[in-house]
Homo-oligomer: A and B are copies of this chain.
Amino acid sequence: MTTQEALKIYREKIAAMKALGHAMGVLQYDGATVAPAESAEGRGKTLAYLSGRSYEIETGPELKEAAQYLKAHADDLDPQDRREIEVFLRESEFTASIPQEEYVGYVELLNRADTVWHKAKQDSDFPAFAPIVKEIFEINVRFARYYKPDQNPYDTQLSRYERGLTMEKTDAFFNTLKERIVPLLKKVMSKPQVDDSFLVGKNYPIEAQRKFSDYLMDIITIDKDRCSIGETEHPFTTNFNKKDVRITTHYHEQNPISSMYSVIHEGGHALYELHSADELEGTILSGGVSMSIHESQSRFMENLIGRSREFIELIFPKMQELFPDQLVGVTAEQMFLAVNKAQPSLIRTEADELTYALHVLVRYEIEKGLFDGSITAEELPRVWNAKYKEYLGVDVPDDRQGVLQDSHWSGGNVGYFPSYALGSAYGAQMLAKMKQTVNVEAAVRSGDLHPITDWLEAHIWKFGGLYDPMELLERAVGEPFDPRYFTDYLEKKYSAIYGL
C-alpha cells in the first residue's frame, strides 16, 4: 500500500459513512418534524439497517488498515490529513468497542424513545418514559465501560462531548458559578421585579411568529439558501453538510419570546456549521468540534447578542410591525428589561442567563447519580422536583414541566448538559476578547452583525475539528479558560438592570 492508496481507501470509506449519516440524519429530522405518528417503526428498521452498514465500514478491516497505515506514515501527510486520521482513529475506537448488534439496537431504541418521550411529555406521564430512560442510561454506562474499562463511566461520557472533561473539573466549574450566582440572584430577588406583564395573556399569531423567525435568521446573517427552519416539540439544530443545515423552533401562541430565542440560539449553532472552512468539507473535521464550543456559539447569539439592549432596540420596530396590537404602548427598553427578567423558573430553555446554570446543574447531578447508581430511573421525578426546590426554590407542578421537559435523554444525549453551562462561560470569554478589536455594540446597533460573525468565523467557526476544544478556545482568546469572565459579565449586567 502507498500513502496515496491508503488515502483513497480512507476517503472512499469516509464518504460512504457520510452518505449513510446524511440519510440517517434526514430520516431523524423528518421523523421529528413532519412524519406521521405511526411512522416510527418503519423508520427504526431503516435506521437499524443504515447504522449497521455504517458500523461495518467504520470498524471494518479496510478502513482500519488504511487509517493505521496513514498513522504510521503521518510524516507523508499534510497537517489537516494528519489531524483527521488522529481524530478518526480515536472515534472509531469508541465504535469498535461496542458489539455491532448493541450499536444498532441502540439506534433503534433511540428512534422508539423519541416517540415514547413525545407522548409521555404530552400526557405528563413519566411512568411511560421510565423504562426507556432507564435502558438508555444503562446502555450509556455499558458503552462507556466497553470503551474505557478502567475509567469512571461518567468521566468517559463527559469526555466524549468535551475532550478532557471530568467530573472533578465540572464540579469545580459549577462551584465557581454557584459561589457567584447564588448570592447575586439573592440580591436580585430582593429588588423590585422587572415588569413583563405586557407579555402575558395575549395571542401572537403563529403566522406572524413565522415571519419573525425569517427576519431573525436574516438579522443574525444566516444564509437561508443553506439553512431552513422547521417546527418540533423541542428545538434543535442538525446538519448534513455546510450547504444543508436545519434549525427548528416551537411556537407558543401566547409567548413569542420563547420561539424568538429558540431561533437565535439554534441560529448560533447553524452559523457555526455553515461557516466551517471549505477545505474541511467532506472530511470528519467539518462542522463543530464539540458540544461545549457549539453551545458557546448558540448561547453567544442568544444571550450575549440577542439579550443585549442594542439588539432589542434593533429588532423592536419589526416586533411592533408584526405584533402591533399586542405591543401597543410598549417601549424597546421595557422589552429589553422583560427578556432579561431574572427569576427562578421551571423551564430551562426559557430561563434567564442568571438562573440558567442552576437548571443545568440539576441535570448534571442527576446524570451523575444515574451513572453511579445512587439514583434510579423510577426516582427521577422525585429527585428532579427536590433539586428544583433546593436550587431554584420552585415547586414543579407536573412532569411535563419537570423531568420530561427536555428531549436530550430520549435522544441519547447523556452527558451533554454541562456543555450548556460551559458554553455560556466560553462565550463570555470570547466576547471579552472580541471587544478588544470589534465595536460589538455599534455593529448590533447598525443592524449589520458581520463584524461579530466575521470574528467568530475567523477565530472559531472556520477551524471545524482541527483543534481539540480547549486548544481552540485558548487560541481564540489567547489565554486558558477562565469562568470568571462569565460571572463578571452576569454581575455587571444584572447589577445594572436591577440597580444593585
Residues on A lying within 8 angstroms of B by beta carbon are 15-16, 18-20, 22-24, 26-27, 29-30, 33-39, 41-43, 45-46, 49-50, 53, 207, 224-228, 230, 240-241, 243-246
Residues of B within 8 A of A224 (CB): 36
| A8 vs B345: C-alpha distance when bound (angstroms) | 56
Residues of B within 8 A of A49 (CB): 15-16, 19-20
A62 to chain B, nearest CB (A): 16
A168 to chain B, nearest CB (A): 41
Residues of B within 8 A of A243 (CB): 36, 38-39, 41-42
Give A36's nearest chain B residue, CB to CB.
Answer: B228
With A39-B243, A42-B244, A207-B207: A50-B19 Cβ-Cβ less than 8 Å = yes
A270 to chain B, nearest CB (A): 10
Residues of B within 8 A of A34 (CB): 33-34, 228, 230, 246
Interface centre among A26, A49, A225 (most CB of B within 10 A): A26
| A176 vs B41: C-alpha distance when bound (angstroms) | 47
| A39 vs B239: C-alpha distance when bound (angstroms) | 11
Residues of B within 8 A of A16 (CB): 49
Residues of B within 8 A of A240 (CB): 39, 42, 46
B36 touching A244 by the CB < 8 A rule? yes
With A30-B26, A30-B30: A19-B38 Cβ-Cβ less than 8 Å = no
Residues of B within 8 A of A228 (CB): 34-36
Give A27's nearest chain B residue, CB to CB.
Answer: B26
| A207 vs B22: C-alpha distance when bound (angstroms) | 32
| A228 vs B38: C-alpha distance when bound (angstroms) | 10
Residues of B within 8 A of A36 (CB): 224-228, 243-246
A266 to chain B, nearest CB (A): 14
B244 touching A38 by the CB < 8 A rule? yes
A/B interface sample: 28 pairs, CB < 8 A: A15-B45, A18-B46, A19-B46, A19-B49, A20-B49, A22-B27, A22-B43, A23-B24, A23-B50, A30-B30, A33-B34, A34-B246, A36-B224, A36-B225, A36-B245, A36-B246, A37-B225, A37-B226, A38-B226, A38-B243, A38-B244, A39-B226, A39-B240, A41-B243, A42-B244, A43-B244, A46-B240, A53-B53
With A30-B29, A30-B30, A207-B207: A22-B38 Cβ-Cβ less than 8 Å = no
A384 to chain B, nearest CB (A): 31
| A19 vs B23: C-alpha distance when bound (angstroms) | 11
B38 touching A225 by the CB < 8 A rule? yes
Residues of B within 8 A of A20 (CB): 49
Give A240's nearest chain B residue, CB to CB.
Answer: B42
| A245 vs B207: C-alpha distance when bound (angstroms) | 26
| A86 vs B30: C-alpha distance when bound (angstroms) | 34
Residues of B within 8 A of A244 (CB): 35-36, 38-39, 42-43
| A22 vs B24: C-alpha distance when bound (angstroms) | 11
Residues of B within 8 A of A27 (CB): 22-23, 26
| A24 vs B30: C-alpha distance when bound (angstroms) | 12
A241 touching B42 by the CB < 8 A rule? yes
| A267 vs B480: C-alpha distance when bound (angstroms) | 60
| A328 vs B409: C-alpha distance when bound (angstroms) | 52
Residues of B within 8 A of A226 (CB): 36-39
Residues of B within 8 A of A45 (CB): 15, 19
Residues of B within 8 A of A33 (CB): 34
Residues of B within 8 A of A246 (CB): 34, 36
Residues of B within 8 A of A241 (CB): 42
Residues of B within 8 A of A29 (CB): 30
A99 to chain B, nearest CB (A): 20
A498 to chain B, nearest CB (A): 41
Given contacts A26-B26, A34-B230, A42-B240, 12 further A-B contacts (CB under 8 A): A16-B49, A19-B49, A33-B34, A34-B34, A35-B228, A35-B244, A36-B224, A36-B226, A36-B227, A36-B245, A38-B244, A42-B244
Interface centre among A23, A33, A37, A245 (most CB of B within 10 A): A23
A262 to chain B, nearest CB (A): 17
